[in-house]
Each structure stands twice: as C-alpha cells, then as structure tokens.
A and B are shown apart, each in its own frame.
Chain A
C-alpha cells in the first residue's frame, strides 16, 4: 500500500462513515471496508479508476470534486479523506472548506513541494522538478497547485483550521526520525488530520 495510505488507515475508526475524494482504484476504501468495517464511498472521475473500484466491490461515485460537495449534508461523514489530490483541484481552499463542512474530521495528504529534491532541482537546474514520484512536466501536469507544508499550515491558520496531527513520509518508507526532524525539507508526502 502507498506510504501515506498505510499511515492514514490507522487513523480511521472502525465502523465509521468515510468519504474518499479522488479515491483512485479504491485501494484504501477496500482495506477499510474489509478490515475496519467502515461504510465507505469513493468519489472519482477517472473511468479506469472507477472500473477498478467496481471490480473490487468498492462503492464509487462518478463526481467531479471541482463541482463541490453540495449534494452531501453537513457533518454527514465521520471522516472525509483526500489523498494526493489537493494539488490537482481548481480551488484547494474551497475543497478544503467543503471537506470540513461535510466531514466531522478530515485527512489530507499532498506531495510536499518543499522537499529538498524539488528545491535543488529548481535551484540548481532552473527547471520545474520532474521525478519518479512527480513524473509530469509543467505543461501536462494535473498538479496545478503545488504547496509546501509551510504553505498549507499558513492556510490552516488563516481559516482557523485545527491541526489534530501531522506526519510526513517519503515515497518509499514510512515516517523516519530524520524526516520528522526537518519535515518541510525531508518529507515527500505531507499527511494532515484536521478539524474545524
């Protein structure tokens, strides 16, 4: 399982109601439904991912995040999750507002653009970073709103969002004490658990 998913699955209460925005092939929801008996729903617009969810028996709803979550009632989910999609939506701030409205709690993960490799790439090569982990070039990337840990926390402060916990991982391993020492430089994926 992807490093960030491996961590957040531990943060989900058994038998809770979970909404996973941009759920991909439903890997996390599949695990949560099987092992934690959660009542989970995924939201996705990619046809192949939707097909994979159906194969797995994961509840998946074809809906575009950028159109909002107005079809869901306030606090109708125990947890609303969005992994690795914050940087790809049109207005991350509005999506975050909606997540916090619909969910009692929220987990967000995103690639940290403050990671040392990204910084060195831009600083030394003078080009937008391209890596195995972030394989797109600037003109075809779905990732239109990169941010760093610091940027995200500034947004949370501005919106009075309470950070319950945060952790960082690199794409290969789980959180390491060295990564924890200097997260904005050494963490590749940021994981935030937030509430209003």
Chain B
C-alpha cells in the first residue's frame, strides 16, 4: 500500500471500458463483430487535441500504466517510473492513454470474453491477433477519443512493434514514434523461446486444448514454466550474477531436488505469482503476435521500402545487455530509417539489466527519453505552462 501518493505520481486512476460495434476485420481473415477496450488516461487532453500520447504495452502489460487503483495497491502501474507529473512523459503537458490490447486478460475483449455467436467463453477459439490488428483497434480508440494525431506513440518490446506499425499503417496520425528495446521482427532464437513457452503451456495436462475453464482448472504449471523461461531471457547473465550469484536459500545444499539456490526460488516465485494472475490463452496469443510481426513481408522483406510510408520522427533506444531484443535489432531499424530518409535518433544505453532495462529508470535512459519528449512538446507548441503546474502542485 502506498502510505502516501508521491507528488510525481498520477495518483489514483480509474479504468474506463469502451464498447465498439463496428466489426474489426483481422489479418487472419476472421472478424471481431464487436469488442471492448479497457483504457486508462492521465493528464488532460488540450483544446487543440494535440497533446495525446499513446502507450502500447508489451507481452504481459495492460492499461494500468501509472498511478494506483486504490490505496491498498502494493505496486503502481507498470510504467509508473516514466509517466507522471514532471516525469519523462509529463502528464502536466501530455494526455496519456494506456489500453489493454485485444486478446488481453485485463478487461479488453479476449479469450476470456463471451463469444456473442455462441454465448460461451471464446477460450482457444478467440482469433489470433497481429500487431496490425491491435493498431487498427487503437486507431478506432483514437477516433473515439477525438484524437486525430498522436503527439507520440510510445512502446517497449512488443509495444515498440505497435509504435512502428502505427508509423507504417497510419503515417499521418502520429508526429513521433518511440520504439524502445524492440525489433522490426523476431529472430529465430527469439521465436524458439516463445515456442518453448507455448509448449510448456499446451503440454500441461490441465490445458485441455485451451478449454481449461470448462474443466474448472488452469494450466498453472505450464504457465509458470513459460514465465520462468521468459524471466531468464529478460535478465542478463550479469544481472543474475549480481542479483543472486550462487547464494543458497538455507545456507547449505539440501542434497534433495528442492530449490537450493536463490535464483531457483526467485524464478519459482515469479512463475507462480504470474501463473495465478495471467490467462494462458492470452499468453499464447501474445507470443504468436510477437512471432508473426514483420511489416516487411508486404514489401518482399525490404524494410527500407516498408518504412517509406512513414512521416513521423523516430527515437529508438536499446540496452547493451539486452539479448532478447539486442541493440543490433534496433540498429537494423535505424539503418533502414536512415536509408529511407526518415528523421531518426538512436541511443544505446549502457545497462546490466538485460531486456528488463526498458522498465527501469536508468539515469541516462530517462535523460534521453525525457529530452526527446521535451522536444516533442516544444515542436508541438506544448510549452509548459508554469502557472498551471504551480496551481496543480499547490492543489496536491
């Protein structure tokens, strides 16, 4: 529980649910006849509607980006370090929109929703979604909120892929694209990790072909294994050494097959808590969307030609020890953007935190990110109104 809410927190936030009746034609050829999106917003949309920033979430993210839902919350939103008054995505200046993507398990239409055709839960029958489908639904969300052009679309990892997709599919609807610790497509190694995760889930006897709810169970062990594997790949060798080393839980080896080392118990704990909170079908869907992402397929694999359509300016950031979304992957995008003649800046942040770094407020990362967002505000004439800030601070 936050004893008191910090001055640079967005404070208590309330999610909203928006219903959409217009059918959404999906990349797979299937259609979602109607759907709902759960969103959370911070800051205020200005009269010109020019200060909106969209935050796209990664594999296990959702709409709750910053602040708290209640004073009983143990933790704030997943990107609270970056979003808030005076933070890098400054809610005194920007109107920030977070959403739970379709196929998610935090309130937006997904495998746990009722299929209007059958009256029962979709489960494994929920259509496979692609990043393109998400972005299409996000564009409808923008229409609903009255936002013609985003000041910036921002995302890390799978979220960065959505930001990139925005720049290609809706080039006239964003001024800036911020792609953090991401890639234009996954490597074979990365797909391989996802496949092991999916196998762990689908081979769990409790999975029942994805119809586990009908059997009043969940594939807990499978999901736990998938998350443990994920966690290993999100950390770097160095980060694990520093965090756990070879520390033993009870000071000595047990000579049993229990968790002897701290790292084992950490992974078990992380896997276990995740497996109780996350839906297995959503996990499968999200990893498939990651694997399928490759906007260049429409251009015979030519990323430069793919990015020709883009009109926004780009910032890419990568982290030195991130081996799941390595700096090379970001550089591929940067090189293609340069070759396509697009405006792009790129920073490679020294960090020991592996892929997880994109969620950690590393000083240089926050500095580059903050300066860029400052520039976004300046370019769009969103100069900070100091009076407003003072009033807000006095009020809080």
Contacts and interface: CB of A to CB of B under 8 A. Distances in A.
A192 interface: no
Interface string B332-363: 00110011010111111000000000000000
B364 interface: yes
Interface string B305-340: 000000000010000000000000001001100110
A76 B339 contact: yes
Interface in A45-89: 47, 50-51, 53-55, 57-63, 71-73, 76
Nearest to A76: B339
B339 A54 contact: no
Main secondary structure of the interface of B (DSSP, over half): helix
B372 interface: yes
Contact of B347 (A39, A55, A57, A62): A62
A41 interface: yes
Given A55-B374, A57-B379, A73 B346 contact: no
A59 B331 contact: no
Interface in B365-394: 367-368, 371-372, 374-375, 378-379
A63 B334 CA distance: 11
Given A39-B341, A61-B345, A71 B368 contact: no
Size category of the binding interface on chain B? 20 to 34
A61 B334 contact: yes
B371 A51 contact: yes
Contact of B344 (A47, A61, A73): A61
A68 to B, nearest CB: 13
Q: For B315, B343, B364, B379, which residue has the most chain A Cβ atoms within 10 angstroms?
A: B343
A60 B367 CA distance: 15
Contact of A59 (B344, B368, B378): B344
Given A54-B368, A54-B372, A71-B335, A17 B345 contact: no
Given A41-B338, A61-B334, A51 B368 contact: yes
Contacts of A76: 339
A47 B334 CA distance: 18
A21 to B, nearest CB: 13
Interface string A1-42: 000000000000000010000000000000000000001010
A60 to B, nearest CB: 5
A50 B367 CA distance: 11
Contacts of B371: 51, 54-55
Contacts of A60: 345-346
Contacts of A58: 345
Nearest to A45: B348
Given A50-B347, A50-B368, A51-B367, A73 B375 contact: no
Contacts of B331: 63, 71
Main secondary structure of the interface of A (DSSP, over half): mixed
Contacts of B378: 57
A71 B332 CA distance: 8
Contacts of A55: 371, 374-375
A59 B345 contact: yes
Contact of A17 (B334, B341, B346): B341
A72 B335 CA distance: 7
A47 B343 CA distance: 19
A61 B375 contact: no
Contact of B346 (A47, A51, A57, A62): A62
Contacts of B334: 61
B339 A61 contact: no
B332 to A, nearest CB: 9
Contact of B345 (A53, A71, A72, A73): A53
Nearest to A50: B347
B228 to A, nearest CB: 33
Contact of A61 (B338, B367, B368, B379): B338
Contacts of B364: 47
A181 to B, nearest CB: 42
Contacts of B344: 41, 59, 61
Q: Which 7 A-B pairs have the closest CB atoms?
A: A54-B371, A71-B335, A61-B346, A62-B348, A60-B345, A62-B347, A57-B375
Given A51-B367, A63-B346, A76-B339, 8 more contacts: A41-B338, A51-B368, A55-B374, A55-B375, A57-B379, A61-B334, A62-B347, A73-B339
14 contacts: A47-B364, A51-B367, A51-B368, A54-B345, A54-B368, A54-B375, A55-B375, A57-B379, A59-B344, A61-B344, A61-B345, A62-B347, A62-B348, A63-B331
